[in-house]
Amino acid sequence: MITRGLLVRLEAKPGEESAVEDFLRSSLPLVQKEAGTTAWFAVRFGRGEYGIFDVFPDDASRDAHLAGEVAKGLQARGEKLFSRTPRIQKLDVLASKLPVGSVPQQDTKGLLLTFKAKAGHEQEVESFLRDAENLVKEEPKTTAWFAIHTSEGEYGIFDVFPDNGGRFSHLVGHVPRELAKHALTLLGSVPDMEMLNIEAEKLAA
């Protein structure tokens, strides 16, 4: 069972974008050796903006990753590659979908949706996100999906797809429609949706 996560945001120095992408891809073999890292995604948010999203069964596995080789690499090369200190957010994972069996191809697209709950409606938002797990399990082109609660108190969804078609199918599917239906009741902010490219991934079934 997945209960914890991390979202790391990285801002490349101008001209260092290719080096950042190379660093992220070269981190994959290191992460694959971490038994406690259930899933790991290196992502590109936009021009010069990169990140890592990963999930774990417990605090001990997350702590081990934070003390591991990828974190050491970020520290060693951070001043050369990044224009600011990496921003690390700790997450609670409220619900998740992982693939059944092997994944035939690496995912190329992702989504990150974040929003605040309306005051007093936090438990309802968490219930909505947990219930959404069953809806997403019916989406064959949504490879993996995670409902999250950030250390800053925001809620959100991170999910990945093999291609643009899979992402579009999700965006017109049940979960976004249900979220829009309950937005005035549950949400305390307009959702912030970011379209991502997946640069590398570890995804255990």
pLDDT in tens, 58-71: 999 999 999 999 99
Q: What range defines the domain where residue 177 resides?
A: 4-203
Detail the DSSP E strand segments found in the chain: 4-11, 39-46, 49-56, 87-97, 109-115, 144-150, 155-161, 192-203
User: What's the pLDDT band for 77 if we cut at 50, 70, 90?
Assistant: confident
| pLDDT value of position 194 | 96
Amino acid at 124: E
Q: Which residues pair with 95 in a beta bridge?
A: 147
Query: How many structural domains does the chain have?
Result: 1
Statement: residue 100 has pLDDT above 90? no
pTM above 0.85, yes or no: yes
How high is the mean pLDDT of the chain?
Answer: 94
CATH code of residue 95: 3.30.70.100
CA distance 157 to 187: 14
Average pLDDT over every residue of 166-191: 91
CA distance 148 to 130: 10
